[in-house]
Amino acid sequence: VFLGYDHALARGGPLSYYGAMKRLTILLAAPRGFCAGVDRAVQIVERALALHGPPVYVRHEIVHNAHVVDRLRAMGAVFVAELDEVPDDGQPVVFSAHGVPRAVPRAAAARALPYIDATCPLVSKVHRQVERAHAAGRTVVLIGHAGHPEVAGTMGQAPPGAVLLVEDAADVAALPDGLGPLAYCTQTTLSVDDTAAVVAALTARFPDIQAPRSDDICYATTNRQAAVKALAPRCEAMLVIGAANSSNSNRLVEVARAAGCPDARLVAGVRAVDWAALEGVRVLGITAGASAPEILVEQILDAARARRAVVVEEVAVAREDVHFKLPPEVGG
């Protein structure tokens, strides 16, 4: 019985017969996966390894994805939590894409540690906003998630107390009076819709608060959420490929649920997919967070093809052509 054929865009394979396999339509979100900042950070570590040989130290996970981290570790990258774990052996240390507090490059310079900053330029843009607002005498309200390294890096661009973190409208209501002139900025990987509600609460309470010149939520976050919104209402279930500690991936799960997909879940990779739970699903959405490589998508597509007569349809809401220059330390 011919039940369907696979026309996955990237594969272009011949028509295949599937016997009695049940049909599964997979809606693939586009854009998905690696953004320009993640691509640049990974290239920085690869080039540093090629230029200096192993070990190259990396402070924190270069991006929040175990597959990426494990591959770089196998090439000779050594991941550390803090600079004091880096020995003085003349080998460079790379700072992750999420950005670092100013104290970190200062401490590296004090030890004459060669360092390469892989902070995404769109995170650096937010850092400069914090610096400027602080220099102008404003207290900065940062909308973000406590404990995320990007938030630690952004708060660390000004002295302690100069940046106040809020996660939601309740935090805005709890801010003290008498803060003086204010400015706000945001983490780059937040939910576009949730952030709009927090900004509305901020501007209602502090009408004179200074807004960023342009949106801090980055193009990659915005596009991946827009793609998920476009396909979620058509999907009975959705797999968001990403790490549990990846902010933008977690937001994609929330966006999918809010946009009408009843069963959206985060999966680290093919081994985490619960195929039994998907048995009755006829239309499955798949996307990947900004730190998840395309190979993880392909592995899940292959596993789906082994079980079901798969038809792949790509749902594209934007085409991205963003590339960031590499730093001079690695030949950029």
Which residues carry out catalysis? 150
- Tokens at residue 330, please? 């690695």
Shortest distance (Å) from residue 289 CB to ligand SF4: 8
Kindly tell me which of 143 and 218 has the beta carbon lying closer to ligand SF4: 218
* Separation of alpha carbons 232 and 263, rounded Å: 10
Shortest distance (Å) from residue 237 CB to ligand SF4: 25
Kindly tell me which of 123 and 228 has the beta carbon lying closer to ligand SF4: 123
Q: What is the DSSP letter of 71?
A: H
Shortest distance (Å) from residue 320 CB to ligand SF4: 10
Beta bridge partners of 72: none
Cα-based distances in Å from 179 to 166, 200, 208, 280: 14, 18, 12, 55
| SS3 state at 314 | strand
- Tokens at residue 165, please? 């973190």
Q: Which contiguous run of DSSP H or E holds residue 58?
A: strand 56-59
Binding interface with ligand SF4 (CB under 6 A): 35-38, 97, 120, 122-123, 188-189, 218, 220-221, 248, 290
Contact 78, 55 (CB under 8 A): yes
Shortest distance (Å) from residue 93 CB to ligand SF4: 19
Residue whose beta carbon is closest to ligand SF4: 37
Q: For residue 168, give the nearest of 141, 189, 188 by alpha carbon.
A: 141
